[in-house]
Amino acid sequence: MRMPRGGRLLLATCLGSLFVLVIYFQTIIKPEPGVNTDSRPGKSRRSPLQTLYNGDQQLELLAAQRSLQGRRELLEQACLSHTRKRQVLSPEDLKHLIVDDKHSLIYCYVPKVACTNWKRVLMVLTSDGRYTDPLSIPANEAHVAGNLRTLSEFSVPEINRRLRSYLKFIFVRDPFERLVSAYRNKFTRSYNTAFHRRYGTKIIRRHRPEPDPEEIEKGNNVLFHEFVQYLVDPRTQREEPFNEHWERVHSLCHPCLIHYDVVGKYETLEPDAQAVLSLAGVEGTLQFPTSGKSTRTDGNMAARYFKHISPFYQKKLFNLYRMDFLLFNYSTPEYLRT
């Protein structure tokens, strides 16, 4: 497949360690007509990438694609406007990109953006019949390392081949709603003792005046304003990377270095997920699971949490997540007092 003018993939090696440099380009990679990008021997089906860019989809899918195309274009423009430095990606940076060789898909999972259900769907798609119903797969099993392959597991030539020819998709969410969702799930649920011990004890010790010894030991009652202080504290990222549940999307998925063909949103999860399944050719056999949660974190709930955060910390937190707001076209929340 020929690379488009203005776009290229470069490889670099340094001291025996492989590094991948993916230069973001404005021109979309379009597979040549008739080229089979399916990795399965003897198959000649049209790949999801070809289906997306050849423009012969059904009317319903075409309507959905117009919205998705607008998001791709906004992301491209935001990357050009707000990023300057070229970054070198190592295979380790690709560990969030899940690969489905059977359907020529690459999905970058973002915690707290329906990633459990997307992993369930991909387990069905890649299981050769072992799984048929996504909701029959326990949530903890969907997150077991090794159940799904990531792009980081492949050689550099194999990484680049898949990046060129597979449909790459990502689902994003309002950054502060995602952050509140992560806080609620990891710090207000009694069963998340691992997070309480791993992060809660440190947060309470560092950001609570005169904490009780028992509070430090258990770490199970972190307040939201303490969590915010922990995030914006310069010492936090100097000591270790953010946990993936509150790491910025642009740091997890590198959207200005890797060209995502579909940018889905949590706010329009069902139609966007249906569009991806249609492109993969499985819409008739597989349904994306719908959420049964009655207390989903939305803008109103986020506003209640941010009500007690001072303007000083609101501004520092917004600056920390500013690139996610810009890249994915999310407006500054009205409830902020910055």
Give pLDDT tens digits for 256-278: 999 999 999 999 999 999 999 99
Confidence of residue 6 (pLDDT cuts 50, 70, 90): very low
How many C-alpha atoms does 57 have within 13 Å on its Cβ side? 25
Q: Which of 20, 16, 40, 191 is nearest to 97 (CA)?
A: 20
**pLDDT for residue 13:** 33
pLDDT given for residue 62 in this prediction: 63
C-alpha to C-alpha distance for 64 and 245, rounded to whole angstroms: 29
Please write the tens of the pLDDT for every residue from 172-217: 999 999 999 999 999 999 999 999 999 999 999 999 999 999 999 9
- Work out the end-to-end distance of the chain between its first and last CA atoms, rounded to an integer number of angstroms: 49
Per-residue pLDDT band at 34 (split at 50, 70, 90) = very low
DSSP helix/strand/coil, 223? coil
The pLDDT of residue 17: 35
**Residue 45 confidence (pLDDT):** 67
Mean pLDDT across the stretch 140-163?
Answer: 95
Residue pair 302/335 in contact by the 8 Å Cβ criterion: yes
- How far apart, in Å, are the Cα atoms of 148 and each of 99, 135, 157, 252, 326? 7, 17, 20, 17, 31
210's CB contacts (< 8 A; 6+ apart) are none
User: What average pLDDT score do residues 107-128 get?
Assistant: 96
- Region 296-321: mean pLDDT is 96
pLDDT of 60: 59
- Of the candidates 175, 316, 328, the residue with the CA atom closest to the CA atom of residue 248: 175
- CA nearest to 143, candidates 112, 174, 115: 115
In the chain, the percentage of residues whose pLDDT exceeds 90 is: 72
pLDDT at residue 36, as a whole number: 45
Q: Which two tokens stand for residue 122?
A: 């991909």
Mean pLDDT of all residues in 53-74: 73
Give the separation between CA 123 and CA 222, rounded to whole angstroms. 34
Question: Is residue 12 within a helix (H) or strand (E), and if so which, with residue range?
Answer: strand 8-14
pLDDT one-digit tens code per residue, 218-258: 999 999 999 999 999 999 999 999 999 999 999 999 999 99
In sign, the C-alpha dihedral spanning 181, 141, 241, 95 is: negative
Q: What is the CA radius of gyration of the chain?
A: 21
pLDDT of residue 40: 44
